[in-house]
Structure 1
Amino acid sequence: MRSPVRGLSPSDSEEASDSTPLLQDAPRAEAAPVCCSARYNLAVLAFFGFFVLYALRVNLSVALVDMVDSNTTLIDNRTSKECTEHSASNKVLHNQTGKRYHWDAETQGWILGSFFYGYIITQIPGGYIARKMGGKLLLGFGVLGTTVFTLLTPIAADVGVGALIVLRALEGLGEGVTFPAMHAMWSSWAPPLERSKLLSISYAGAQLGTVISLPLSGIICFYMNWTYVFYLFGVVGIIWFVLWIWLVSDIPETHKTISHHEKEYILSSLKNQLSSQKSVPWIPILKSLPLWAIVAAHFSYNWTFYTLLTLLPTYMKEILRFSVQKNGILSAVPYFGCWLCMILSGQAADHLRVKWNFSTICVRRVFSLIGMLVSSWALQIHLPLFQEWLGLSLLKV
């Protein structure tokens, strides 16, 4: 079996790497049933875990619209004729019992952006810790920490903007370990030919969490007040944590209810995939051009994704002049498209590899290209009649 260091050596051709000899050398075990299987139960629980994570992450973006006194930042937009028709919706009366704060646009930017200062710190350490101790507890306590800090958000807002910024950064620290922890778990749970399906199911929860959280936060702010946004999603996070700790195991060998057939299927499909290499070949990794191509693509995607995720509700309030209720619904539309395409593309990717013998690298290149081009195009189009809904829905295809 080739070591990871040799796998990155210049002498290996791209096509040789893409042919995945490890999968060809190993005899293909008979697949275990999907229904009620431990691996798909893990995918479903992970789905709801990332649902909770992104709900906790984005609810402030909508709640902030209702937390800030409109007179502080809301200025009539004179630059676009299309925006004037939405200004009337801001006059609709709704529950305003929640406390209001006089935070200018710069302060709001710090509040929304502070999450990512914590988030970036724990990404790489999270992967190292997950490799050493397993992903179950790391992911579980990452979600729990974010949940607890979310429940404390109304208190921090009352204490002061500095306390709220620090709290959001701490939430980011907790969430930063979750994706590396999930990757570590799937390395022990996902059979190679089911990997795209299992990962797409689990990570699609992030998009659905955004889809549900944004409009629901707007409705809660409209009919109740913004503090209940944090309490509701915080309680959901605690319930998920209890189920995760009770039902999930780091590896198939220690799972309490997995069938013998499924355990053997997973282990046999992965036995030639696992490396005995203990050290990480950092120098060859850093010299790998395909790695930097992936980094560039991921950076470009995340730039758009997180800019919209964080600032779209504020933009729709300050510039397009939507009410908090309609704001949440419209802000969620792009992520509904993202969630739907993530589920379908995972199924399509495995189908192309298994049934049509497409190479893994071909599938990834084509899918990445389609996703980037469609999103870029949708950001620039102007649809006079349907731009409010259709343009937004195309953003995240």
Structure 2
Amino acid sequence: MFTTVEAEATVGGIVNDGTLNTAQVQTFKKGFCSVRHGLALIVHLCNFSISTQQMNMSIALPAMVNNTAPRSPPSASTERPLTDFQDKWNETLNEFKAVAAMYDWSPEIQGIILSSLNYGSFLAPIPSGYLAEIFGTKYLAGAGMFITSVLTLFTPLAADTGVTLLIVLQIIQGIVQVMLLTSQYSIWARWAPPTERSQLITIAVSGSVLGSFIILLVGGYLCQTIGWPYVFYIFGGIGCICSFLWFALIYDDPVNHPFISTSEKEYIICSLAQEDSPPGWSLPIKAMIKSLPLWSILVFYFSDYWHYFVIRSYLPTYISSVLQANIRDSGMLSALPFVSACICIVPGGLLADFLLSRKILRLNTIRKLFTAIGVLLPSAFFVSLFWVRSSFSATVAFLILSFATKSLSQSGALVNFMDIAPRYSALLRGLSQIFSYIAGAISPTVAGFFISQDSEFGWRNVFLLSAAVNIAGLFFYLIFGQAEVQDWAKGRCAPASEQTVTN
């Protein structure tokens, strides 16, 4: 980690007053062939792994219990007559699945197992931001990546031992995963120049969306072929590999990176020096509580993740119950919206940085414009689902468009905390996660209540309420949101303790 003084000493004669002229930018800027973009790719892979580990239990659980519902009758549009080869293949699959254990867990126990991953999530985000500043992101997030991957490998063994051990393991995994997802944002406070912040973060975050797509696409197939334990073995093994890459290639700041070029190092440090928000830890709690720009971000996180958790929890149910899709098709159709989001999220970040670097729009305008598009269009598509439910193709098209346009929010309010307080990025990310988890605890329950009350119009009420909450959060953000570094997040010359970082 480095302080403002260290940063100025590093650039030496190139920067003396914290400014960076155009010639220096052209000299230092390396585009995509740079160490900082390589770091974004590594974080992308780790987010991919974490996302698959977060969803693997929900994918494997139907195959783990022995009271699953029988398959629905095949429809003429999706099923074909079985051939002799297919009969033999099905017999082979049954032999594979017989090896995997099955458990007599009640629906209540299954619900506890699925929700146990979030039991510790409310407690971990804030300490994670603090620990990232104390011990560094490299070791905290790297250790978290390794621990959660090893625990994933031991999940089948824990299930065989007993449901209590499995729940405890899930709780520990949830805490460790939140630590990783929170602390990684400390990297961008030291590695991401302001004009590249959107693209670097969206490259990293797109790994989570890609992970959701892959686990939905192949998770059910793995359960049906080689058995549910291999869902944990395969993705736990991938996580271990990602943790080794993390320890080998991730560094907390460009000053200590052994492979970075001098020109790229100077470009990053000079760019960040202009923000007057050096990395550090001196928490102005009162000023933060009074900060409306910060509250606008937190409120938006709540409203945006209300929509996200409804989709994540009930999209497969909606496709299978309303569209009458079979299990195989339901998994594939549930994955399609995620891949559309994965495709669109990085170009959205590139567009935001392009508009900023060319000075076409101010940063505050960019954040609010992308947020508005990422809320209004998806809400319109989402609400329309109820009225196009009779059309299979229209429903799928609206779901894909909803996810694709919603990904633009990642270049808007969801990354705005990096603009208003770069030095507290990990802490604010943790604080925003608390609001998102609160939404995640409420929205599926409310949606389930509406659906249970009225199987037909319940979905309409779920869609309307989700859109209303999301749009309300958007209006609050548009009114109070800002993109300038706040006074309470700027470096000051007074107490020396506020300008240094304790390693």
- SS of the equivalent of 1:119 reads coil
Tell me, in whole angstroms, the C-alpha distance in 2 between the residues paired with 1:64 and 1:47.
Answer: 27
2:199 to 193, 197, 200: 197
Q: CA RMSD in A?
A: 2.8
1:222 correspondence with 2:224: yes
Tell me, in whole angstroms, the C-alpha distance in 2 between the residues paired with 1:24 and 1:103.
Answer: 62
* 1:12 paired residue number: none
1:109 correspondence with 2:111: yes
Aligned CA distance change for structure 1 residues 327 and 160 (closer, same or farther; 3 Å): farther
TM-score (normalised: structure 2): 0.67
* 1:330 paired residue number: 333
Tell me, in whole angstroms, the C-alpha distance in 1 between the residues paired with 2:162 and 2:190.
Answer: 44
Shift of 1:27: 3.5
1:119 correspondence with 2:121: yes
Tell me, in whole angstroms, the C-alpha distance in 1 between the residues paired with 2:313 and 2:332.
Answer: 15
Tell me, in whole angstroms, the C-alpha distance in 2 between the residues paired with 1:271 and 1:293.
Answer: 26
The AA in structure 2 aligned to 1:177 is: M
Tell me, in whole angstroms, the C-alpha distance in 2 between the residues paired with 1:231 and 1:276.
Answer: 38
* 2:50 paired residue number: 53
Tell me, in whole angstroms, the C-alpha distance in 1 between the residues paired with 2:216 and 2:311.
Answer: 12
* 2:309 paired residue number: 306
Tell me, in whole angstroms, the C-alpha distance in 2 between the residues paired with 1:291 and 1:74.
Answer: 49
CA contact (8 A) 2:44 2:203 kept: yes
1:161 to 149, 160, 163: 163
CA contact (8 A) 2:125 2:179 kept: yes
* 2:132 paired residue number: 130
Aligned CA distance change for structure 1 residues 25 and 314 (closer, same or farther; 3 Å): same
The AA in structure 1 aligned to 2:49 is: V
Aligned CA distance change for structure 1 residues 354 and 88 (closer, same or farther; 3 Å): closer
Tell me, in whole angstroms, the C-alpha distance in 2 between the residues paired with 1:276 and 1:238.
Answer: 30
Shift of 1:310: 4.3
Tell me, in whole angstroms, the C-alpha distance in 2 between the residues paired with 1:303 and 1:84.
Answer: 34
1:377 correspondence with 2:374: no
Query: Aligned ranges for residues 1-397 of structure 1 at < 5 Å?
Result: 26-28=20-22, 29-30=24-25, 31-71=28-68, 95=94, 96-97=97-98, 98-273=100-275, 274-275=277-278, 278-313=281-316, 322-382=325-385, 383=388, 384-387=391-394, 389-397=396-404
Which ranges in structure 1 are unaligned for 5 or more consecutive residues?
Answer: 1-22, 77-82
- SS of the equivalent of 1:389 reads helix
Tell me, in whole angstroms, the C-alpha distance in 1 between the residues paired with 2:289 and 2:269.
Answer: 31
Tell me, in whole angstroms, the C-alpha distance in 1 between the residues paired with 2:358 and 2:18.
Answer: 15
CA contact (8 A) 1:61 1:112 kept: yes
Tell me, in whole angstroms, the C-alpha distance in 1 between the residues paired with 2:246 and 2:295.
Answer: 35
- SS of the equivalent of 2:311 reads helix
Aligned CA distance change for structure 1 residues 371 and 34 (closer, same or farther; 3 Å): same
* 2:444 paired residue number: none
Tell me, in whole angstroms, the C-alpha distance in 2 between the residues paired with 1:312 and 1:164.
Answer: 26
Shift of 1:75: 10
Shift of 1:245: 0.8
The AA in structure 2 aligned to 1:284 is: A
Tell me, in whole angstroms, the C-alpha distance in 2 between the residues paired with 1:24 and 1:368.
Answer: 31
Aligned CA distance change for structure 1 residues 180 and 385 (closer, same or farther; 3 Å): closer
Shift of 1:177: 1.2
Tell me, in whole angstroms, the C-alpha distance in 2 between the residues paired with 1:152 and 1:284.
Answer: 45
Shift of 1:275: 3.3
Tell me, in whole angstroms, the C-alpha distance in 2 between the residues paired with 1:178 and 1:283.
Answer: 27
Sequence identity (%):
34
Tell me, in whole angstroms, the C-alpha distance in 2 between the residues paired with 1:315 and 1:114.
Answer: 24
The AA in structure 2 aligned to 1:297 is: F
The AA in structure 2 aligned to 1:57 is: Q
Shift of 1:389: 2.7
Tell me, in whole angstroms, the C-alpha distance in 2 between the residues paired with 1:36 and 1:161.
Answer: 48
The AA in structure 2 aligned to 1:355 is: R
- SS of the equivalent of 1:396 reads helix
CA contact (8 A) 1:119 1:172 kept: yes
CA contact (8 A) 1:61 1:314 kept: no
Tell me, in whole angstroms, the C-alpha distance in 2 between the residues paired with 1:296 and 1:330.
Answer: 31
CA contact (8 A) 1:47 1:206 kept: yes
Aligned CA distance change for structure 1 residues 209 and 140 (closer, same or farther; 3 Å): same
- SS of the equivalent of 1:170 reads helix
Aligned CA distance change for structure 1 residues 171 and 87 (closer, same or farther; 3 Å): farther
Aligned CA distance change for structure 1 residues 319 and 160 (closer, same or farther; 3 Å): farther
CA contact (8 A) 1:51 1:205 kept: yes
Shift of 1:230: 0.4
TM-score (normalised: structure 1): 0.84
Q: After alignment, is 321-330 or 288-297 more displaced?
A: 321-330
Tell me, in whole angstroms, the C-alpha distance in 1 between the residues paired with 2:61 and 2:115.
Answer: 13
Shift of 1:338: 1.9
Aligned CA distance change for structure 1 residues 86 and 68 (closer, same or farther; 3 Å): farther
Which ranges in structure 2 are unaligned for 5 or more consecutive residues?
Answer: 1-16, 83-89, 405-503
Between the two proteins, the alignment pairs up a number of residues equal to: 367
Shift of 1:188: 0.7
Tell me, in whole angstroms, the C-alpha distance in 2 between the residues paired with 1:131 and 1:346.
Answer: 26
CA contact (8 A) 2:209 2:339 kept: yes
Tell me, in whole angstroms, the C-alpha distance in 2 between the residues paired with 1:214 and 1:61.
Answer: 10
Shift of 1:119: 2.4
Aligned CA distance change for structure 1 residues 324 and 171 (closer, same or farther; 3 Å): farther
